């Protein structure tokens, strides 16, 4: 199999049907029609009360780099599935559209647009697969990390998942998303290099196996490192691992920084309490107990309930693989399209399943915050030409149950979708990782506790403006009329 192309690009990281549709648009002369697509998801990940937005940095790189290389063009021609003239046309392709998006670290919710792509039918169609690929993974990981962090509070959590991640990209971008979501460090050096994420770690069982006993292994490590965390469960945690860790710490004294020990198996509530006692009695009350082994927010919560004496958490498999929910299920739908007369006409996807219906029109999402309490009252989805900042009071109603409503008086409305690219030019300056993390914390602080609990949180309101709701109802009616006349 041929794999290494010196000029490989990411343009073909898309589903074949995007290209077949693009060919139709091109041959039929509608490829340059103006269009708006929006991405949204239908269910909150993990049943959480909020989701943490991540993935924009990768999207920005993707759109900036998007072009068809010579080998892409040759390959497409070799499939014999496309019109060679259309494929030649793609040679000059660049993304010239406009991208609006939630920014990383912001909180997002189901049933609201989180990404909006506006441009030609051709370019907006091409990018669907990659954009969804990115956000469907990264939002999951950032949200899961935030759930974990909400349980452990100020205790450090390290990301250990690279060996179990679904391949290289997931390890790297997943680590970044986990850091956005609140984890404190990673064991992956490349993620450290690429994104400036703090790198940390301990050592593995192999070190102890290499020396065939705990003592010699810990001693060798202490001779070659200042900061020492000894993994104590290779043979027997309480009888060999911890006593030998203490022995080496005693022998080296100030020559090393004995940070603590890591437990990686067994009953971690029982063991951590015993280990704590042994370390305290040996005069190491500041030595920390690190724990790892298939942990997630549920096991951590249960360990805390049992009074486990764990100070630092290492999380791998269950975070990086988004173990309990493999995808977010975000979708990308056309919401408005230029007609034969140059007018934009809103479009809908109806479905036999009402939950799969899209909301027509180009939108903005407004985060409505009460000025007094500084807490979020809900999100308010409007058509793009509406601006609730001009209103004194805002009538908010649930679009599925309009009798659930409230009027908000003294509020701040913050637009969620920011300009990222305008006419192909990147206009958004990416913030630093620290700024993204601080933003996430700020947004979480503005959320009532009821939406933040891990189990059965309250459902955060995502409402439609009256104009947006009326527009949707009218278009549904029009489509139904049209279908009726077909029969």
Ligand X SMILES: O=C(O)c1cccnc1
Neighbouring residues of 296: CB distance < 8 A, sequence distance ≥ 6 = 144, 148, 315, 318, 319, 323, 324
Q: Considering only residues 150-189, where is the footprint of ligand X by CB under 6 A?
A: 160, 187
Rounded to whole angstroms, the Cα distance separating 210 from 226 reads: 20
CA distance 226 to 249: 11
d(CA 51, CA 135): 11
Per CB under 6 A, the segment of 150-158, 159-167, 297-305, 455-463 that binds ligand PRP is: 159-167
Stretch that binds ligand PRP, among 98-106, 116-124, 242-250, 309-317 (CB under 6 A): 309-317
Name the minimum Å distance from CB 239 to ligand ATP. 17
Backbone φ, ψ for residue 354 (5° rounding): -60, -30
CB-nearer residue toward ligand PRP: 160 or 173: 160
Kindly write out the interface string for residues 267-296 of this chain, putting x where it contacts ligand ATP by CB under 6 A and - elsewhere: xxx-----------------------xxx-
Question: Which C-beta is closer to ligand PRP: that of 299 or that of 369?
Answer: 299
Pick the closer one to ligand PRP by CB: 294 or 373.
294
Q: Which stretch binds ligand ATP (CB under 6 A): 165-173, 182-190, 302-310, 468-476?
A: 302-310
329, exposed or middle or buried, with CB in 10 Å at 0-12, 13-18, 19+? middle
Nearer Cβ to ligand PRP, position 105 or 314? 314
Nearer to ligand PRP, 140 or 413 (CB): 140
Determine how β-strand 312-315 pairs with β-strand 98-101.
Answer: unpaired
- CB atoms inside a 10 Å sphere around CB 16: 13
Helices (H), 84-213: 84-90, 121-126, 128-152, 167-181, 189-195, 205-211
Binding test (CB under 6 A) with ligand PRP, winner from 9, 24, 240, 293: 293
Residue 303 interacting entry, from ligand PRP, ligand X, ligand ATP, none, C-beta within 5 to 8 Å by type: ligand ATP
CA distance 247 to 282: 9
Indicate which single residue of 150, 155, 317, 327 sits in contact with ligand PRP (rule: CB under 6 A). 317
For residue 94, the minimal CB distance to ligand X (Å) is 40
Q: Which lies closer to ligand ATP via its Cβ, residue 138 or residue 299?
A: 299
In this complex, which beta carbon is closest to ligand X, that of residue 292 or of residue 321?
292
Query: How many residues make up the chain in this entry?
Result: 487
Choose among 306, 284, 330: nearest CA to 59: 330
CB nearer ligand PRP, residue 300 or residue 408: 300
Give the separation between CA 124 and CA 119, rounded to whole angstroms: 6
| 201 binds ligand X per the rule CB under 6 A | yes
Among positions 315-344, residues that touch ligand X (CB under 6 A) are 316
Interface pattern 281-300 for ligand X (x via CB under 6 A): -----------x--------
Asked if residues 360 and 336 have their Cβ atoms less than 8 Å apart, the reply is yes
Give which of ligand X, ligand PRP, ligand ATP, none residue 213 binds (C-beta under 5 to 8 Å, depending on kind): none
Task: Please give the structure tokens belonging to residue 425.
Answer: 């030019």
CA distance 305 to 289: 17
- Contact indicator for 340, 368 with CB cutoff of 8 Å: no
- DSSP strands (E only) in 197-249: 227-231
* Among 299, 287, 295, 286, residue whose Cα is nearest residue 314: 295
> Cβ 161 to ligand X, closest distance in Å?
8
Q: What are phi and psi of 280, to 5 degrees?
A: -60, -45
* Gap between the Cα atoms of 385 and 389, Å rounded: 12
Residue 333's SS3 state is: strand
Q: Other CB atoms closer than 10 Å to residue 244's CB: what's the count? A: 22
Please choose which of ligand ATP, ligand X, ligand PRP, none residue 164 contacts, taking the beta carbon within 5 to 8 angstroms, the exact cut-off set by kind.
ligand PRP
In the complex, minimum distance from the CB of residue 316 to ligand PRP, in angstroms, rounded to a whole number = 3
Which string of x and - marks every residue 241-280 that binds ligand PRP (by CB under 6 A)?
-----------------------x----------------
x-or-dash pattern for ligand ATP, window 253-272, by CB under 6 A? ------------xxxxx---
Residue 302 near ligand ATP by CB under 6 A = yes
| CB half-sphere exposure, 222, CA atoms < 13 A | 26
Residue 22 near which of ligand ATP, ligand X, ligand PRP, none (CB within 5-8 Å, type-dependent): none
Nearer to ligand X, 175 or 202 (CB): 202
Interior/surface letters 300-314, b for 16+ CB within 10 angstroms, e for the rest = bbebeeeebbbbbbb
Nearer to ligand X, 98 or 202 (CB): 202
Contact yes or no for 143/181 (Cβ under 8 A): yes
Give me the least distance between CB of 451 and ligand PRP, in Å please: 27
Q: Per CB under 6 A, does 202 bind ligand X?
A: yes
Q: What is the size of the binding site for ligand PRP (CB under 6 A)?
A: 14
| Residues in touch with ligand ATP (CB under 6 A) | 265-269, 293-295, 299, 302-303, 306
| Residues in touch with ligand X (CB under 6 A) | 160, 187, 201-202, 262, 292, 314, 316
């Amino acid at each position: 199999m041929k794999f290494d192309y010196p000029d490989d690009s990411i343009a073909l990281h898309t589903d074949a049907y995007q290209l077949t549709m693009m060919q139709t648009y091109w041959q039929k002369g509608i490829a340059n029609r103006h269009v708006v697509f929006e991405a949204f998801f239908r269910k909150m990940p993990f049943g959480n009360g909020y989701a943490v937005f991540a993935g924009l940095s990768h999207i920005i790189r993707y759109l900036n780099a998007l072009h068809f290389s010579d080998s892409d063009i040759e390959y497409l021609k070799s499939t014999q599935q496309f019109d060679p003239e259309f494929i030649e046309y793609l040679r000059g392709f660049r993304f010239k559209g406009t991208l609006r998006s939630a920014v990383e670290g912001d909180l997002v919710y189901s049933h609201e647009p989180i990404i909006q792509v506006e441009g030609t039918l051709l370019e907006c169609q091409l990018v669907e697969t990659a954009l969804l690929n990115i956000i469907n993974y990264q939002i999951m990981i950032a949200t899961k990390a935030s759930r974990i962090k909400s349980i452990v509070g100020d205790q450090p959590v390290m990301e250990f998942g690279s060996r179990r991640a679904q391949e290289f990209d997931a390890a790297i971008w997943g680590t970044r998303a986990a850091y956005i979501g609140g984890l404190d460090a990673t064991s992956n050096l490349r993620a450290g290099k690429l994104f400036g994420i703090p790198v940390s770690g301990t050592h593995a069982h192999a070190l102890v196996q290499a020396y065939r006993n705990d003592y010699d292994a810990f001693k060798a490590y202490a001779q070659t490192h200042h900061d020492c965390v000894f993994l104590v469960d290779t043979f027997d945690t309480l009888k060999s691992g911890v006593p030998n860790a203490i022995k080496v710490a005693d022998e080296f004294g100030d020559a090393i920084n004995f940070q603590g020990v890591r437990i990686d198996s067994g009953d971690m509530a029982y063991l951590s309490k015993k280990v704590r006692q042994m370390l305290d009695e040996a005069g190491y009350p500041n030595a920390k107990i690190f724990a790892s082994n298939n942990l997630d927010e549920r096991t951590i919560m249960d360990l805390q309930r049992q009074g486990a004496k764990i100070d630092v958490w290492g999380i791998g498999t269950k975070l990086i693989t988004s173990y309990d929910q493999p995808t977010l299920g975000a979708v990308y739908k056309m919401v408005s399209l230029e007609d034969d007369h140059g007018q934009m006409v809103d479009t809908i996807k109806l479905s036999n399943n009402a939950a799969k219906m899209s909301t027509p029109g180009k939108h903005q999402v407004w985060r409505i915050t009460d000025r007094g309490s500084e807490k979020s009252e809900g999100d308010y989805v409007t058509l793009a030409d509406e601006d609730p900042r001009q209103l004194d009071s805002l009538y908010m109603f649930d679009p599925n149950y309009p009798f659930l409503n409230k009027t908000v008086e003294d509020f701040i409305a913050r637009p969620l979708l920011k300009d990222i690219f305008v006419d192909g030019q990147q206009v958004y300056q990416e913030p630093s990782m620290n700024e993204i993390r601080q933003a996430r914390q700020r947004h979480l602080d503005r959320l009532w506790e009821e939406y933040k609990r891990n189990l059965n949180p309250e459902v955060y309101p995502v409402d439609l403006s009256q104009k947006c709701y009326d527009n949707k109802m009218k278009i549904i009616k029009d489509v139904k009329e049209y279908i009726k006349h077909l029969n």
